[in-house]
Amino acid sequence: MSALAQATVYGLLQGGLLAMIAVGFSLVWGVMNVINLAHGGYVLLGAYIAWELHAAWGLDPLIGAVTGGLVMFGVGYVVQRLLVNQIVNAPIFLTLLLTFGLQLVLVQGMAVVFSADYRSIATPYASQAFTLQSFGLADVRVPYGRLLAFVVAVLATAALVVFTQRSRTGLAILATGMDRTAARLMGINARHVYALTAGIAAALAGAAGALVGLVGTFSPPDAARFTLLSFVISVLGGLGNMYGALLGGLVLGVVQAWAGQYLPGTWVNAVAFAVLVGVLIVRPAGLAGRAFYEARVEAT
Amino acid sequence: MSRSAVAWGLAGAVVLVGMIVLPSQLYTGQVRVVTAVLMFVALAQAWNIIGGLTGYACFGQVAFFGIGGYATAVLMEHANWSFWAALPVAALGCAAFAALIGLPLLRLRGHYFAIATLGVAEGMREVVTNLGRLTGGGAGITVPTVGGRGTAWLGNDGFYLLFLVLAALAVAVAALIGRSRFGYGLRAINQDEDAAAAAGVNTTRAKVLALTISAALTALVGSAYAFQQVTIYPQRLFDVDITVIMIVMVVIGGAGTVLGPLVGAVGLQFVSEYLRQHYPQEHILVLGAVIMIVVLLFPSGLTGVATRSGMLATIRAYRL
C-alpha cells in the first residue's frame, strides 16, 4: 500500500514538471500545426544555462530557471521568425524535418560544448524530504526539491493559461490559431504572433529544464525523450488545450511511476507508447476534449 | 507500354548492368560504401510509397526494418532456418504486421499518423529489448553463419549484389505503382482524401495496401542488413534516425517521384559518408545543418528544381 502511495506521489510530482515541458509544445502544435522536434533540445539548453549559472556564481536553480526562460524566449522567437515561419504552409514532413535538423544541431552542439556527461544542479535542500505522517502515511517521502519544482511548474502552466485567455496578446495567439486569415484581416501580425507563441513555448521549456536539473540528472541525448513525452502528453490532453496538457502530464507521470514500480526492466517506456497509440486510436481528440487545430476554419 | 516506359526501362537496365560490373573496379572499402548507398536507395523508395506518393508521413518506418531484421535473426538462430528461407518469410510477416497496425492507424491523418507510427516503432524496440529469451534483449542476437549452421556469410561482393537486387526491386515496384491505376489512387489520396473517396477510390484498401508494400520492402532490407551485420542490437535496428534519413532522402530528391528518392539516397549517403570520414566529431551536427538548409532552399526536392520552374513559387507558397 505504501509503495503504491509513494509511487503515486512521486508520479504526480514528476507529472507536474512534465506538464510544464509539454504545455508549450502543445500550444505551438495547436496554434500553428507545427510539431517542434527541437522542443526537448530547448529543455536541455535551459538546463545547461541554469547549470552554468550555478557553477559560475552559485546561483539557485530558480534564478537559473528565470534566466534560462528569458534566454530561451529569445531563441524560440528567432528560430520561429527566421526558420520555421518559412515553411509553415508546407507538407508536414518538411516542418518535422526542419525541426529534426535543428534538434541534431542543438544536441550535438551541446554534446561538443558540455560533453555527454550526466550533470545535475546540487542544492542543499533538493534531497531533503518530509513525510506524509499527518495523512497516516508515515513512510511516504516528499522531497522538497521535487515539491518546489512541481509547484513552480504548475504555477507557470496556470499562468500561461491565464495569459492566453485573458490578455490581449494571448487572445491574438488563440485567434491566429483558430483562423489565421481572419486574424490577419483584423490587423494581427501573424508572423510576430507565431514567433511569440514559439518564444513562450521555448521559455517554458527552458525554465522547466532548470527544474529538471534541480530534481535529477540530464545529458544532451535526453532531448529526444523530452520531445517524445511532450508528444504523448499533448495527445493525451488534446492539442492546444493547456488544462489538458496539465492533466495529461499528471496522468502520464503517475502511469509511468506505477509501471516503474510494478513492471520489470524497461517496460516502463513501452507503457508510455502503448498509452499514446491507444489514445490516438480510441480518442484522437485527447482525454480532455476536442482537438484545437482540427476545429479551425482553413482559408487560404 | 508507352514509349517513355520503354526508354526508362532501357536506361534502368543499362545502369543495372553497369552496377553489376562496378565492384570489380573498386577497393573493398568503396564496395562497402556503395553497398550502403544501395541499401538506402531501397529504403528511400520503400518510404516514398507510403510517405511521398500517398502523403502519409510514416515516422515509424524503422519498425518494419527492425522487425524484418529480428525475424530473420530469430528464425535463423532458434529455428535453424537458412537465410534464403527467412528473408521472404520475414518480409511476409512484416507485411501482415503492417496491415494489422495500418487498419486502425491509417484512420489518423497528418501529425497524428506520424506520431502514432513513431510510437509503434519506439514501442517495438522496447518489446524486442524486453523479450530477452527470444531476441537476446539489449545484448543483441547473433545470426549463425559458421559451423554448418545457418547460411554462410555472403562476403562483401555477395552483399553488394544482394542489396543491388533489393534496390532494383524497390525502384521497379515504385515505378510500376507510380504508373498504375493503384498509384493514381494513392496520388489522389495525397491531394484530397475525401475527394478521392468520392471519386471511387477505396481509400482504406489503397492506404493499407501502400503501407503493406512499403513495409514488406523495408523488411527485406532489414533482413539483409541483419545478415550483413551478423550481430544486431535493438538500439540500432529500431534507431529512429534510420526513419529520418529515409525521409530526408525522399524530400531532398523529390517526394512522390521514382527518380527523386534515387537521387536523394545516392546524394545524401555520399555526402554523409564524406562528412563521417573528414569530420568524425561534428558530422552529425553538419548533417543537421544540411537537412535544415535543404528543407528551406529546396522544399520541392532536387528533381523538382529540374522539372519545375516553380522553385521560388514553392518557397513563397510555403512561407508565412
Checking if the pLDDT of A65 tops 80, the result is yes
The three three-digit cell numbers of residue A159, written as one number: 499562468
Q: What is the ipTM of this complex?
A: 0.80
3-state SS track over A139-195 = EEEEEHHHHHHHHHHHHHHHHHHHHHHHCHHHHHHHHHHHCHHHHHHCCCCHHHHHH
Give the mean pLDDT of B191-207: 90
Q: Which three cell numbers stand for residue A149?
A: 519544482
Please tell me the predicted confidence (pLDDT) of residue A274: 79
Query: Do B314 and B297 form a contact (C-beta atoms < 8 A)?
Result: no
Assess whether pLDDT exceeds 70 at residue A292: no
Residues of chain B with Cβ-Cβ distance to A39 below 8 Å are none
Return d(Cα B262, Cα B37) in angstroms, integer. 10
Element (H, E) at A54: helix A39-57
Which run of H or E residues covers position B141? strand B141-142
Q: Which of residues 140-179 of B touch A (CB under 8 A)?
A: none
Task: Find, among B194, B195, B247, the residue nearest to B52 by Cα.
Answer: B247
pLDDT tens for B124-171 read 988 898 888 888 888 889 888 876 677 888 888 899 999 999 999 999
**Digit-coded pLDDT (tens) for A2-30:** 788 888 888 888 888 999 999 899 889 88
Query: What mean pLDDT comes out for the span A44-57?
Result: 92
Over residues B6-39, the pLDDT tens digits come to: 888 888 888 888 888 788 788 888 888 899 999 9
Q: Do B116 and A277 touch (CB under 8 A)?
A: yes
Of the ranges A137-146, A170-179, B301-310, the best mean pLDDT one:
A170-179
Grid cell in block for residue A33: 500545426
Q: Which amino acid is at B285?
A: L
- Residues in chain A with CB shorter than 8 Å from the CB of B110 are 33, 92
Q: Of A120-129, A228-237, B166-175, B177-186, which range is least confident?
A: A120-129
Dist. CA A81–CA A75, nearest whole Å? 10
Q: Do A85 and B292 touch (CB under 8 A)?
A: no
Is the pLDDT at A49 greater than 90? The verdict is yes
Are B51 and A284 in contact (CB < 8 Å)? no
Q: Are A207 and A200 in contact (CB under 8 A)?
A: no
Burial (CB count within 10 angstroms: exposed 0-12, middle 13-18, buried 19+), residue A15? buried
Question: Does the pLDDT value for residue A293 go beyond 70?
Answer: no
The residue ranges of DSSP E strands in A46-148, in sequence order, are 129-132, 137-143
Residues A22, A249 contacting (CB under 8 angstroms): yes
Specify the higher pLDDT residue, B313 or B165. B165
Residue bearing cell 514538471: A17
Give the count of beta carbons closer than 10 Å to the beta carbon of residue B273.
16
Does pTM surpass 0.90? no
pLDDT in tens, A152-202: 888 988 888 889 889 999 999 988 888 888 888 888 898 999 999 999 999
Outline where chain B has alpha helix (H): 3-21, 28-47, 62-78, 83-105, 110-130, 132-135, 155-179, 181-191, 193-198, 203-229, 234-237, 240-253, 259-278, 283-297, 302-307, 311-318
Closest approach of B303 to chain A, Cα-based (Å):
16
Q: Delineate the domains of chain A, giving CATH numbers in brackets.
A: 2-295 (1.10.3470)
User: Over chain A, what is the mean pLDDT?
Assistant: 84
Q: What is the pLDDT of residue B305?
A: 62
Q: For residue A181, what is its C-alpha cell?
A: 486569415
Distances (CA, A) of B241 to A157, B118, B122, B236, B287: 32, 11, 12, 9, 12
| Cell digits of residue A204 | 517554458
pLDDT at A259 over 90: no
Of B105, B120, B291, the CB nearest to A97: B291
* Separation between Cα atoms, residue B64 and residue B218, nearest integer Å: 6
The verdict on A125 touching B (C-beta cutoff 8 Å) is no
* pLDDT band, very low/low/confident/very high, at A298 (cuts 50, 70, 90): very low
Residue carrying C-alpha cell 558540455: A114
The closest CB to that of A96, out of B114, B119, B299, belongs to B114
Determine whether the interchain pair A280/B244 forms a contact, defined as Cβ–Cβ distance below 8 Å: no
Pick A214 or A275 by higher pLDDT. A214
CA distances from B135 to A243, B77, B120, B123 (A): 42, 10, 18, 15
Q: Does B238 touch chain A (CB under 8 A)?
A: no
pLDDT at B308: 54
Cell of B244: 529520418
Name residue, grid cell 553488394: B160
The predicted pLDDT at position A134 comes to 66
